[in-house]
Amino acid sequence: MSWPGATLLRLAGQHPIEAFRTPFESAYSTAMPIRQLSETMINQIAAGEVIERPASVVKELVENALDAGASRVEIVTAGGGLNMIRVTDDGSGIPEPELALAIARHCTSKLSENIHDIRSLGFRGEALPSIGSVSRLSIRSRTASGDAAAEIGIEGGRVSAIKPAAANRGTTVEVRDLFFATPARLKFMKGERAESSATSDVIKRIAIAFPAVRFTLAGSDRSTLELPATEASADGSLRRVAQVMGAEFPANSIAIDASRDGVHLTGHVSIPSFTRANALQQYAYVNGRPVRDKLIAGAIRGAFADVLPRDRHAVTVLFLTLDPATVDVNVHPAKADVRFRDPGLVRGLIVGAIREALANAGIRAATSGAAGMMAAFRPGSYADASPANGHRSYDAAYRASGFAGFDRSPQRPLDMGFDGFRENDQAAFDAGPLASADARAGTAEPAETLLGTALGAARAQVHENYIVSQTRDSLVIVDQHAAHERLVYEALKNALHSRAVPSQMLLLPEIVDLPEEDAERLALHSETLARFGLGIERFGPGAVAVRETPSMLGETNVQQLVRDLADEIADNDTVETLKERLDKIAATMACHGSVRSGRLLKPEEMNALLRQMEATPGSGTCNHGRPTYIELKLADIERLFGRR
């Protein structure tokens, strides 16, 4: 009994049950007869769900423009969209006789008789009437065949008469004083900047799916946007992605293109060394509709689980295309949620396609890493320094770049750990460490076949952790510890998934109480779970007994593990959780079992490590997503020395 009125009610001599009611119930609920709500009130209730903030208005209006086949969509806002939002398109327009219907509830031109065959962004026929019930809305429109435009208005639900107007073909929808009719909602708005940036996000998200449409956003603040049209092709799509997300994403991503049982997946995912601290840069589309879907997000996480640390997120743009009848978009009025008829198929396709693409891309380091390094080297960045101290700055740049192997100061000779190559300090100083390392490696010209490999011929080991190697057209530096850790991890994982995982008997079986459906679901998957070393069986209604757990997990919270698994099976119909946990343990073990930096390697050992990296998918990054090697193109090096 938390609210203060309860005590008062009791004091007033009411029956204790009465005292549990809120003042609203006791005052009104029994007093009012049932009646039909007014049209405006119905629309305002609907607006509560569809129109959460200015960005939702923009989303609905832009969707309408795209459904009308627009090739240009212009958005103007004022006051973060709360004062004014205007969306102009060059689409099909609305015929004058239909203007009144456009703002009437449950009126749409997009849905025939079949709710299972939705091919447009809109279909519910409620956006315009909802917006019109909480703001001052006007629509001015002209069709290709109409000889003039016409305009209709609606203010807080009150419709005005249709007037003639002047306009080109297409439609302009203007929304003023959003939420003036529902002040409670107005109070929740965050401030102009936050609303503007939400609006710009909405446009970016949708624009990725419509590369051939030109979008512009102008606001009273600086959140303007200009996305020129590109062509509707794979190339155009990638160019639009670059417009929205920046050019470094395409440069650091791999293309995805896969199909399974009528579901088609295309798009791009970042390479593992190009990540973000949150999942906001993950864009997903189902039949061209931007969605925020748990299943897709989970599949992306699963696909990258191996190559990214827990707190880093891939950057992705994924387009799913499938028969509209096999996906339900009518889940929520905002239409951002979807339900797949076969979630296992969709998840499997996404995880499989991404993993395969990552493996095929093989070893590839982030260009951003190498580019950053080149920038650190570039003498031009010290152009301001006077000639007198220019030399020193240059030296400092070497040091700052972390590539201390080129340090010019006299140093102790590199100890390669094998005999016959040791030189005296003077020679090392004169010839430079790299040349002397060459001499130590004993081969002036490495074998031609080695030069042709991706990671080249090992020439030296510097600072007891970095293997310097040479290909035909580049210089490669490998972090031996990170590389080896990755190789050990991949080997452990292979062992883990190629045969049954060893399990340990529990002293006493652990009984886990669960909702009956969960227990049933777990029992259905018991065979798969057994392969992962989890021995589980039904234990009467609403419970399972766990008799064995994977030995690798050691002491583990069985209750939690089983519940997580039940949730995951319910969500995705898979048992990724267990697999992910085991992979994570493999990663931890790999970290302990790998070559520490500081261990001196013989040339054969170095070359063997490089060859193993080339043969191992995913070895371009360590288990924490950092690159295991960087490559400097000879052309870039020559440019640094002004030779090009």
81 versus 93: smaller Cβ distance to ligand ADP:
93
Residue nearest to Mg ion (CB): 122
The single residue among 53, 124, 136, 312 that binds ligand ADP, judged by CB under 6 A, is 124
On whether the CB atoms of residues 177 and 83 are closer than 8 A, the answer is: yes
Q: How far, in Å, CA of 15 to CA of 292, rounded? A: 49
> Contacts with ligand ADP: how many residues (CB under 6 A)?
21
**3-state secondary structure (DSSP) of residue 346:** helix
92 binds, among ligand ADP, Mg ion, none (CB under 5 to 8 A by kind): ligand ADP
Q: Does 123 bind ligand ADP (CB under 6 A)?
A: yes
91 versus 405: smaller Cβ distance to ligand ADP:
91
The single residue among 14, 26, 83, 108 that binds ligand ADP, judged by CB under 6 A, is 108
Region from 31-39, 101-109, 389-397, 624-632 binding ligand ADP, contact rule CB under 6 A: 101-109
Strands (E), 166-245: 170-176, 214-218, 225-227
Q: Count other Cβ atoms within 10 Å, centred on residue 71.
A: 15
108 binds, among Mg ion, ligand ADP, none (CB under 5 to 8 A by kind): ligand ADP
Q: Does 587 bind ligand ADP (CB under 6 A)?
A: no
> Cα 2 to chain center, whole Å?
43
Q: How far, in Å, CA of 581 to CA of 553, rounded? A: 8
Q: How far, in Å, CA of 51 to CA of 293, rounded? A: 20
Shortest gap between Cβ of 76 and Mg ion (angstroms)? 19
Which sign, positive or negative, has the C-alpha torsion 66, 69, 73, 79? Answer: negative
On whether the CB atoms of residues 614 and 362 are closer than 8 A, the answer is: yes
**Binding-residue pattern over the window 425 to 444 for ligand ADP, x denoting contact by CB under 6 A:** --------------------
Closest to 630 measured CA to CA, from 403, 445, 435: 403
Shortest gap between Cβ of 180 and Mg ion (angstroms)? 22
**3-state secondary structure (DSSP) of residue 86:** strand
Q: Does 210 bind ligand ADP (CB under 6 A)?
A: no
Shortest gap between Cβ of 538 and ligand ADP (angstroms)? 47
Tokens representing residue 432 in the block:
């430079």
Residue nearest to ligand ADP (CB): 122
**Binding-residue pattern over the window 7 to 46 for ligand ADP, x denoting contact by CB under 6 A:** ----------------------------------------
Shortest gap between Cβ of 291 and ligand ADP (angstroms)? 17
Closest to 627 measured CA to CA, from 455, 384, 414, 370: 370
On whether the CB atoms of residues 580 and 305 are closer than 8 A, the answer is: yes
Shortest gap between Cβ of 109 and ligand ADP (angstroms)? 3
129 versus 627: smaller Cβ distance to ligand ADP:
129
62 binds, among Mg ion, ligand ADP, none (CB under 5 to 8 A by kind): none
Shortest gap between Cβ of 287 and ligand ADP (angstroms)? 16
68 binds, among ligand ADP, Mg ion, none (CB under 5 to 8 A by kind): ligand ADP
Q: How far, in Å, CA of 265 to CA of 286, rounded? A: 10
60 versus 605: smaller Cβ distance to ligand ADP:
60
The single residue among 51, 58, 102, 152 that binds ligand ADP, judged by CB under 6 A, is 102
Q: Count other Cβ atoms within 10 Å, centred on residue 384.
A: 7
| Sheet containing strand 543-550, strands side by side | 503-513, 543-550, 535-538
Shortest gap between Cβ of 471 and Mg ion (angstroms)? 55
92 versus 621: smaller Cβ distance to ligand ADP:
92
108 versus 556: smaller Cβ distance to ligand ADP:
108
Within 39-98, the residues that bind ligand ADP by CB under 6 A are 60, 64-65, 68, 89, 91-94
110 binds, among Mg ion, ligand ADP, none (CB under 5 to 8 A by kind): ligand ADP
65 binds, among ligand ADP, Mg ion, none (CB under 5 to 8 A by kind): ligand ADP
On whether the CB atoms of residues 575 and 528 are closer than 8 A, the answer is: yes
Q: Does 122 bind ligand ADP (CB under 6 A)?
A: yes
On whether the CB atoms of residues 277 and 329 are closer than 8 A, the answer is: no
Burial of 579 (0-12, 13-18, 19+ CB in 10 A): buried
93 versus 618: smaller Cβ distance to ligand ADP:
93
On whether the CB atoms of residues 282 and 304 are closer than 8 A, the answer is: no
Q: How far, in Å, CA of 450 to CA of 469, rounded? A: 10
- Using only C-alpha atoms, the chain has a radius of gyration, in whole angstroms, of 32
Q: Which residues bind Mg ion (CB under 5 A)?
A: 64, 122, 127
Which phi and psi (to 5°) does residue 236 adopt? -60, -40
56 versus 282: smaller Cβ distance to Mg ion:
56
Region from 106-114, 245-253, 284-292, 494-502 binding ligand ADP, contact rule CB under 6 A: 106-114
Region from 1-9, 107-115, 191-199, 287-295 binding ligand ADP, contact rule CB under 6 A: 107-115
Q: Does 110 bind ligand ADP (CB under 6 A)?
A: yes
Shortest gap between Cβ of 592 and Mg ion (angstroms)? 57
413 binds, among Mg ion, ligand ADP, none (CB under 5 to 8 A by kind): none
Shortest gap between Cβ of 181 and Mg ion (angstroms)? 20
Q: How far, in Å, CA of 136 to CA of 482, rounded? A: 61
Token match 């590839």: residue?
364
How far apart, in Å, are the Cα atoms of 614 and each of 245, 326, 364, 608, 619? 31, 41, 10, 10, 8
Q: How far, in Å, CA of 239 to CA of 58, rounded? A: 23
Shortest gap between Cβ of 61 and Mg ion (angstroms)? 8
Q: Does 490 bind ligand ADP (CB under 6 A)?
A: no
Q: How far, in Å, CA of 190 to CA of 52, rounded? A: 12
619 binds, among ligand ADP, Mg ion, none (CB under 5 to 8 A by kind): none
Q: How far, in Å, CA of 456 to CA of 96, rounded? A: 70
Q: Does 510 bind ligand ADP (CB under 6 A)?
A: no
Q: Does 109 bind ligand ADP (CB under 6 A)?
A: yes
Shortest gap between Cβ of 633 and ligand ADP (angstroms)? 50
Task: Specify the DSSP class assigned to residue 621.
Answer: B
Within 152-191, the residues that bind ligand ADP by CB under 6 A are 171
Closest to 454 measured CA to CA, from 613, 605, 604, 628: 613
The single residue among 95, 125, 236, 542 that binds ligand ADP, judged by CB under 6 A, is 125
Q: Does 128 bind ligand ADP (CB under 6 A)?
A: yes
Q: How far, in Å, CA of 143 to CA of 149, rounded? A: 8
On whether the CB atoms of residues 553 and 542 are closer than 8 A, the answer is: no
On whether the CB atoms of residues 250 and 235 are closer than 8 A, the answer is: no
Give CA torsion, residues 591, 629, 453, 495, to 10 deg.
Answer: 20
Shortest gap between Cβ of 148 and ligand ADP (angstroms)? 16
Instruction: Give residues in contact with ligand ADP (CB under 6 A).
Output: 60, 64-65, 68, 89, 91-94, 102, 108-110, 122-128, 171
